[in-house]
Amino acid sequence: MTALYNRIGINYSASRGTDPRIADRLYAELKGASRIVNIGAGSGSYEPDGVELVAVEPSAQMIAQRVVGAYPAELAAAESLPFPDGSFSHAMTVLSMHHWSDRAKAFNEINRVATDKFVAISWDPTASPFWLTRDYFPEFHAEDLNKFPPLAEFHAHFDDVAISVLPIPDDCQDGFLAAFWKRPAAYLNPEVRQGISSFSKSTTLDAGLEKLAADLESGVWEERNASILESDEFDAGYRLITARTRSKPVV
């Protein structure tokens, strides 16, 4: 992941940020935390105010984009957290687990450094592809199936796991993959695509982008997706996961 985001993370913060409605759901689960470690923290989105927090990020490119006054950041990976046992009450991560090289090791590290709770935002691999990955970039969906953790995996490493749907608002202020589900023309913008790892990693985008542009011009996209256009939020498979950490790691 370090090399990946050093390469694709340039200008990442231009299209990525904190959506307040998603943040409200996340922060509610972090309430009462005395000290938080934010793993895969990127440029600093979704870090609550008024609490002691340390960010962990393996990419120097991403750390360089953290704003002045942001929480301190350690250049490190999820699989090797540079902290003593029990250093934090809570651990959190937002859409980063699919980049970890060894999730079991990372989960053991979370259990080692966090005494109370793990809170995460991820994507459910059993979710159906939405229109972008169904009709234009099916290779994104195929790749994500292999990269995102199956939800059952959390039960193997943590206790009292709770998983809930995290719907995406139609004017989402954070530009992750499904954020523009109701604003399809946004995917034609190179700056938007730069902030989405699925696009940034791919070298074969032309056919899908050309098909999307043509379908928007002809009205095919609107006709095919009429059922979602009256909605103000959408379930694209994103999930909010909360769990109690364990004192003994899984081996």
**pLDDT surpassing 80 at residue 145:** yes
Strands of the sheet with 159-165, listed across from one edge: 73-75, 52-57, 35-39, 88-94, 114-123, 238-244, 159-165
| Least confident residue range of 5-9, 36-40, 128-132, 136-140 | 5-9
User: Please, what's the b/e burial string for 41-67 (b: 16 or more CB within 10 A of its CB; e: otherwise)?
Assistant: bbbbbbbbeebebbbbbbbebbbebbe
Residue 166 near residue 121 (C-beta atoms within 8 A)? yes
Closest CA to 34 of 117, 137, 134: 117
* pLDDT over threshold 80, residue 14: no
By the 8 A CB rule, do 45 and 67 touch? Answer: no
Percent of the chain with pLDDT over 90: 84
What pLDDT score was predicted for residue 93? 98
104 found inside a domain: yes
List b or e across 96-108, with b for residues whose CB sees 16 or more CB atoms inside 10 angstroms: bbbbbeebeebbb
- Taking all residues of the chain, what is their mean pLDDT, rounded to a whole number? 92
CATH code of 113's domain: 3.40.50.150
Rounded Cα distance between 130 and 35, Å, is 37
pLDDT tens-digit series, residues 163-211: 999 999 999 999 999 999 999 999 999 999 988 989 988 889 999 999 9
The H-or-E segment that residue 112 falls in is helix 103-113
Instruction: Of 227, 122, 124, 125, give the one whose Cα is nearest residue 181.
Output: 227
Report yes or no on 250 lying in a domain. Answer: no
Integer Cα distance of 109 and 85 in angstroms: 9
pTM of the model: 0.90
Domain membership of residue 54 as a residue range: 2-244
Total count of domains within the chain: 1
The answer to whether residue 249 sits within a structural domain is no
Residue 152 lies in a domain: yes
Q: Which residues contact 163 (CB under 8 A, 6 or more apart)?
A: 151, 154, 239, 240, 241
The predicted model gives 112-139 an average pLDDT of: 98
Per-residue pLDDT tens digits for 83-123: 999 999 999 999 999 999 999 999 999 999 999 999 999 99
The answer to whether residue 10 scores a pLDDT higher than 60 is: no
Rounded-to-integer distance, Cα 153 and Cα 162, Å = 12
Is 217 within the bounds of a domain? yes
3-class DSSP state of 187: helix
User: What pLDDT sits at residue 7?
Assistant: 41
Q: What is the DSSP letter of 133?
A: I
On whether residue 21 sits in a domain, the answer given is yes
The answer to the question of residue 251 being in a domain is no
Q: Within 13 Å and on the Cβ side, how many CA atoms surround 133?
A: 20
